Amino acid sequence: MSQPIPFGTRPGPSDRTALVEVVQQVARGDKQAFSTLYDALAPMVFGIVVKVVRDRAQSEEVTQEVMIDLWRQAARYRPEAGGVTTWAATIAHRRAVDRVRSAQAATDREQAQAARAHATAFDEVAEQVETRLESEQVRRCLRGLTELQRQAVSLAYYQGLTYREVAVALRAPLPTIKTRMRDGLIRLRDCMGVST
C-alpha cells in the first residue's frame, strides 16, 4: 500500500480492514506500510496528545514517541481487541498522561528542593543568631566570675588545657585549681540558667 489511507470523519469497515492490514505489514518491518500508518494516524494522535499536554512542542515530541511505539508494538496489535485507531488513541493518551505526570513530578521536585533550600537557609540564620546570643551570654557570665576563676575556666575550655596544665600555667596547686574551676563552673551554670 503506497497510498495513504484517507483520514476523514470516521473510517468505514473497508478503511478499518485496510488499517489492520497496514499494521500487520508494519509488524513484519515494512517501512512503506509504516509511512502509510503514520500518515493515517499522526493527525489524530497529535490531536489527542495536544489536548492533554497543552504544549505544542511537547505534544510534537510525544506524538513522535507514540508513532515509534506503534512501529515497535505493531506485532502485539490484536484486531479482536479493538480498531487500529482505538489502539493508537489509547497509546497516545497514555503517553500524554505520562508526560504530564512526569512534568508535574519534576515541578514538585524543584519546588520541594527550593523549599528545603529556603528552610535550610532560615535554619542556618536562626542557628547563627542563637549561637551569637549564647556566646554573648557566656561572655557576660564569664565577666561575673572572679579573675582567678575566669583564668582557670578560660584556660581549660578555650585552650583545652587539663587541670594539671592549668595549675602549671597559673602557678597554683592542683587542688586550688580544681576548686576554682568547680566554683567557676557552678557560677556559670547558674548565670546561664542551666538546670542539672
Query: Are the C-beta atoms of 1 and 25 separated by less than 8 Å?
Result: yes
Alpha-carbon gap, residue 63 to 46, rounded angstroms: 5
Is the pLDDT reported for residue 36 higher than 90? yes
Is the pLDDT reported for residue 3 higher than 80? no
Q: What is the pLDDT of residue 14?
A: 57
pLDDT digits (tens, 9 = 90+) for 72-130: 999 999 999 999 999 999 999 999 999 999 999 989 899 888 877 766 556 676 777 77
Which is more confidently placed, 195 or 107? 107
Query: How far is the CA of 123 from the CAs of 51, 116, 131, 136, 137, in angstroms?
Result: 43, 10, 12, 20, 21
Mean pLDDT, all residues of the chain: 85
Q: What is the pLDDT of residue 120?
A: 58
Is the pLDDT reported for residue 41 higher than 90? yes
Burial (Cβ within 10 Å: 0-12, 13-18, ≥19) of residue 50: middle
State percent of the chain over pLDDT 70.
Answer: 88
Q: What is the pLDDT of residue 11?
A: 47
Q: What is the pLDDT of residue 97?
A: 95
Alpha-carbon gap, residue 26 to 71, rounded angstroms: 7
**Single-letter amino acid, residue 192:** M
Is the pLDDT reported for residue 8 higher than 50? no
Q: pTM for the whole thing? A: 0.54
- What nine digits make up the cell of 151? 583564668
